Amino acid sequence: MRKRFMVLALAGLMAVSAFTGCGKIKDDEVVATVDGEDIPAGLANFYARMTQAQYETWYAGYMGDNMWSGEAEEGKSYEESVKDQIMEDLQNMYLLEDHMKDYDITVSEQEEASIKETAGAFDEANGLEEKGKVSASIENVERLLTLMTIRQRVGDAIRETAEMEVSDEEAAQKAMKYVTFSFNKTDEDGNSTALTDEEKEELKKEAEDFAKGAKDKDDFAAYASEKEYEARDATFDAEETVTIPAELAEAADKLEEGEVTGVVESANGLYVAKVTSLFDKDATEKEKENIIAERKQEKYNEVIEGWRKDADISVAEGVWKKVDFNELSVTMYMDDSDPYTDDVKTDDQIDEDEDEDTGEDTGEEPVEEENGGTEE
């Protein structure tokens, strides 16, 4: 996901605008220390600005010009939240570098060559003024790419220590067909409005009649079509909360194959379902993959958290404060002929889908981001 985007970002052109006289960042200032090793302010500024550029390029359009001063959580601005994650990411990268030997990891000659090539392309593409404002010296660019390569390589090695065996019983998925009776109605113009309490009562009677009629029908989907409803397919277990409401999964999980639920109510509507299989092989294999991916990420998080607990980490808050997203705007000029927006997602969506490509090796593109926040 982030791998391709960061390569293009580093090879592309930056648009840098200073709104006010922001504090001058000195490359050799110490912004943080991890177990006695200093993190230079220039490196931190460059990483922060590249992260900022991703947000401002893709999300400022709908988050507004004041996106960084907006509240991300109670008592914390969006800028503070993102900067906290950036600082944690940097600290984690230094810890991962410190533990490279534990996993027999080294940066290969091929990776070093790719790093130099990417850094060189970025250096040539941007002017001195732009690079100066974001601390984009060739040394900082190469150092960041190296740290990101190490993070991916060591991270993959950590994840591979997770338990990989998943039994059929643990991953077992059932299958159902279901009909939804929504608590919202849509008019001819596509506008959606909530049903009144009276309309909900009428809808409930409608759903009850359907459930009663469906109980003795062999073909649930055909019966639904006959009654002008749409039967949808879903696989589930007792804890399903994504594709169908938890209430529906819980009710269906108690049934045998071929049985039909009563009317199940959730926040958004009413449901009636028929259990069509007590063991869906394909869905179960997919669930095994999901469980393994979750275990891998949990193992990675567990190891990092352990290292952080044992490490001596400090931050020079006065230096870090000079990196101000409100005073300096950073975006990237994008080539419209290269449509790769589908590869870019927000951190919230990352946070869950980062787990999907945690086992990917960087190969010749050693710059994939991982783990929560900006490190997914």
The DSSP annotation for 78-113 comes to HHHHHHHHHHHHHHHHHHHHHTGGGGT----HHHHH
Same domain, yes or no: 183 and 304: no
Residues 157 and 10 in one domain: yes
pLDDT at 205: 98
Same domain, 31 and 129: yes
200 and 228 co-located in one domain: yes
Identify whether 259 is part of a domain.
yes
Bridge partners of 232?
Answer: 178
User: Helix (H, G, I), strand (E, B), or coil: what is residue 325?
Assistant: coil
Within this chain, do residues 73 and 155 fall inside the same structural domain, yes or no?
A: yes
Among candidates 272, 256, 293, 282, which has minimal Cα distance to 172? 282
Instruction: Say what the pLDDT of residue 334 is.
Output: 59
Per-residue model confidence (pLDDT) at position 23: 54
Supply the CATH number for residue 38's domain.
Answer: 1.10.4030
Domain assignment present for 368? no
Print pLDDT tens along the chain (376 aa): 333 333 334 545 566 665 544 557 899 999 999 999 999 999 999 999 999 988 888 887 777 778 898 888 888 999 999 999 999 999 999 999 999 999 999 999 999 999 999 999 889 888 888 899 899 999 999 999 999 999 999 999 999 999 999 999 999 999 999 999 999 999 888 899 999 999 999 999 999 999 999 999 999 999 999 999 999 999 999 887 778 999 999 999 999 999 999 999 999 999 999 999 999 999 999 999 999 999 999 999 999 999 999 999 999 999 999 999 988 888 877 554 443 333 333 333 334 444 444 444 433 333 334 443 334 3
pLDDT confidence of residue 15: 67
Strand pairing partners for 67?
none
Per-residue model confidence (pLDDT) at position 62:
77
266 and 329 housed in the same domain:
no
Amino acid identity of residue 321, one-letter, is K
The whole-number pLDDT of residue 14 equals: 60
* 3-state secondary structure string across 232-262: EEEEECCCCCCCCCHHHHHHHHCCCCCCECC
Does 362 fall in a domain? no
Give the per-residue pLDDT at 13.
59
Write down the pLDDT at residue 126: 86
pTM: 0.75
**Boundaries of domain holding 43:** 2-163+289-357
- Please give the span between the terminal C-alpha atoms of the chain, in angstroms, as a whole number: 9
208 assigned to some structural domain: yes
CATH number, domain at 253? 3.10.50.40
**Where among 248, 278, 308 does a domain terminate?**
278
Q: Is residue 216 part of a domain?
A: yes
Q: How far is CA 197 from CA 88, 184, 194, 265, in A?
A: 49, 11, 9, 14
> Which pLDDT score is estimated for 19?
54
Dihedral sign from CA coordinates of 127, 132, 138, 142 = negative
Q: Domain check: are 145 and 233 in the same one?
A: no
Count of domains in the chain?
Answer: 2
Quick one: 203 and 65 in the same domain? no
pLDDT value, residue 17 = 64
Q: How far apart are CA 256 and CA 339, in angstroms?
A: 48
Q: Are residues 149 and 298 in the same domain?
A: yes
**Residues 41 and 157 placed together within one structural domain of the fold:** yes
Residue 10: inside a domain, yes or no?
Answer: yes
296 occurs within a structural domain: yes
- 135 and 223 housed in the same domain: no
